[in-house]
C-alpha cells in the first residue's frame, strides 16, 4: 500500500494541474493483494475504480 501512495505522490508532484475530464491517465502499474503486478493498460476498455483504504492501525 505504501508503494501505491509513493507512486501517486510522485505522479502528482510531476503534474501540478488536475486532469481534465476525458484526459488519458498516465501509465502506471501497482501490486495487488497477491503481489501480482497489475497495470492500467490491462484494464483498457473497462471502467476502473481506485480505492484508497487507509485502514485502522
Domains of the chain, residue spans: 2-43
pTM comes to 0.46
Residue 25: the pLDDT is 81
CA torsion, ordered 9, 15, 16, 22, to nearest 10 deg: -110
Confidence bin at 37 (pLDDT 50/70/90): very high
Which pLDDT band, with edges at 50, 70 and 90, does 23 fall under? confident
Q: Could you count the other beta carbons within 10 Å of the beta carbon of residue 40?
A: 15
Residue at grid coordinates 502506471: 28
Give yes or no for residue 2 having a pLDDT over 70: no
Return the sign of the alpha-carbon dihedral for residues 29, 32, 36, 40: negative
Look-up of cell digits 493483494: 33
Amino acid at each position: 500500500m505504501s508503494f501505491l501512495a509513493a507512486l501517486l505522490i510522485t505522479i502528482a508532484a510531476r503534474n501540478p494541474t488536475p486532469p481534465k475530464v476525458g484526459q488519458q491517465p498516465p501509465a502506471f502499474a501497482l501490486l495487488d493483494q497477491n503481489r501480482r503486478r497489475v497495470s492500467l493498460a490491462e484494464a483498457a476498455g473497462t471502467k476502473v475504480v481506485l480505492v484508497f483504504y487507509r485502514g485502522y492501525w
